Amino acid sequence: MRVKTGSEQSNLFDILKHAEASASHRKSSLDRLEVIDWEAFRPLLAELLAYGDQSKGGRIPWCPVLMLKVLVLQRFFDLSDPETEFQILDRFSFLRFLGLRLGDGAPDHATIWAFKERLGADGMLAVFELFNEQLRGQGLIASCGKIIDASFIEAPKQRNRRDENEQIKRGEVPERIARKPRRQCQKDLDARWTQKNNQSYYGYKNHIKMDAASKFIETFTVTNAAVHDSQPVGKLLRESDRETVLWADSAYVGPFIAALLKRFAMLANICEKGTCTRPLSRKQKQANKEKSRIRSRVEHAFGRIAQFGGDRFRRIGQQRCCFETALTNLTYNLDRYAMFHARA
C-alpha cells in the first residue's frame, strides 16, 4: 500500500508554501496584537536606549520596537531567554508577529538579556505609562471607579542559615555571602517570607490599581512579600482619582486608609472585616457581597497574569522584579486592549 510520508529533501518553494499555509490556516493568539500601534513606542525607546550612531563601527543593534515585541512575546508565553531565541527561529507565527522572514535571523538570548538590562525598570515603567496614556486618549480608562489589590510574586527560595536570615531582614549582608561575590550575586537579598491563610510565601508583591469598568491596570508598585497590602496605597492613587469610588477587600482598613480616602475625597466601597469577638452581622455580610461584585474583577486580572507566568519570578533582586512586573502588567494591558478590539 502506498502511503504519503515526508520527503527527504525540500526546496525553497516547499518552505515558502509551508509558511503561507501556516499563515492562512488560522489566526494565532499573537495576531490579535496587530491592532496595537507599536510604532508609537519608537520615540520613547530611542530616547531611553540612547544608541549611538555607529560611526565608530561596532555591531548594529536590533530595532528597539522589535526587541520590545520580543519581550512581550517572552512574557505572553512565559519563556526564558534561550527558549525565546529558539521559538522565534522555530515558529512561523513568532516570525510574523516580529515582522521577520526566514533567513533574517533572530536576537539571541544574550541580546535579549542585554536589552532588558539596558532598558531597566524605569524604562519599562515609562513604556507602561506611555501605553496607558494611549488608553486614556481613547477613553478606555475612565474615572468612574478604581479597584486596588495585591498579589504574590513567588521567587526562588534561598537556603540560608537562621542567623543569616535575621541579618538580611535588618538589611545587612551576611559575612559568609559578602566575602564571595559570586555567591552574593546568586542570593536575593530583597525578597522576604510571609504567611497568608496558613501558607508561606517567599518573594514579592504586585500592588495594582485597576479601572473598575475596563479592567485595565492603571498604576502599580512592587514590594517584598512581607509588606502589608495597605501600606503602598499612597503610591497607587493619583490626583485624577479624586472624588471617585474605591473598591477593596478587608485588608484595606484602618486610620491610614481612612486618611487617604479623605485626602482624595473618595467614596469607599471597602469590605468590612470581622473578628472572633465581633463577627460580621447578616447585613454586613450582604453589604460585602454587593461590594465584591465589583471588587472581584481585579481577580480576573491576576488570573490572566498568572497564565502569563507573572506570579513567578526567575531573576534576582527587587529592581529586576520591578522590570518583570512592569512588563507583565504591560502585556496584560496589551492583551486586554486586543480583546476590546476583537469584541468591537
Tell me: the pLDDT tens digits for 201-229? 999 999 999 999 999 999 999 999 999 99
CATH value of 142-155+204-313 in 3.30.300, 3.30.420, 3.30.479, 2.20.28: 3.30.420
Can you tell me the mean pLDDT for 69-93? 94
Residue type, 300: H
Phi first, then psi: give them for residue 164, nearest 5 degrees.
-70, -40
Residue 292 has pLDDT above 80, yes or no: yes
Burial of 151-173, coded b for 16+ CB within 10 Å and e otherwise, reads bbbebeebebeeebeebbeeeee
**Higher pLDDT, residue 5 or 264:** 264
Residue 10 — very low, low, confident or very high, per pLDDT cuts 50/70/90? low
| Mean pLDDT, residues 132-149 taken together | 91
Is residue 14 pLDDT above 90, yes or no?
A: no
Each domain of the chain, given as residue ranges in start order, spans: 26-51+59-138, 142-155+204-313
Question: For residues 26 and 115, which has the higher predicted lDDT (pLDDT)?
Answer: 115
Q: Would you say residue 90 has pLDDT above 70? A: yes
Specify the pLDDT at position 300. 95
Please tell me the predicted confidence (pLDDT) of residue 258.
Answer: 93
What confidence tier does 4 reach under pLDDT thresholds 50, 70, 90? very low
| Residue 144 pLDDT exceeds 90 | no
Whether 3 has a pLDDT exceeding 90, the answer reads no
> Contact at 8 Å (CB) between 47 and 64?
no
Mean pLDDT over the full length of the chain: 88
Per residue, the 3-state secondary structure of the chain, as one string, reads CCCCCCCCCCCHHHHHHHHHHHHHHCCCCCHHHHHCCHHHHHHHHHHHHCCCCCCCCCCCCCCHHHHHHHHHHHHHCCCCHHHHHHHHHHCHHHHHHHCCCCCCCCCCHHHHHHHHHHHHHHHHHHHHHHHHHHHHHCCCCCCCCEEEEEEEEECCCCCCCHHHHHHHHCCCCCHHHHCCHHHHCCCCCCCEEEEECCEEEEEEEEEEEEECCCCCEEEEEEEECCCCCCCCHHHHCCHHHCCCEEEECCCCCCHHHHHHHHHCCCEEEECCCCCCCCCCCHHHHHHHHHHHHHHCHHHHHHHHHHHCCCCECCCCCHHHHHHHHHHHHHHHHHHHHHHHHHHC
Predicted confidence at residue 179, as pLDDT, reads 78
The pLDDT tens digits of the residues spanning 34-76 come to: 899 999 999 999 999 987 666 666 678 899 999 999 999 999 9
User: What pLDDT is stored for residue 16 in this prediction?
Assistant: 57
- Residue 130, pLDDT > 90, answer yes
Whole-prediction pTM: 0.90
Residue that is written with C-alpha cell 522584579 in the block: 321
pLDDT of residue 142: 81
Q: Once rounded to an integer, what is the mean pLDDT over residues 281-297? A: 92
Percent of the chain with pLDDT over 70: 90
- pLDDT at residue 22 is higher than 50: yes
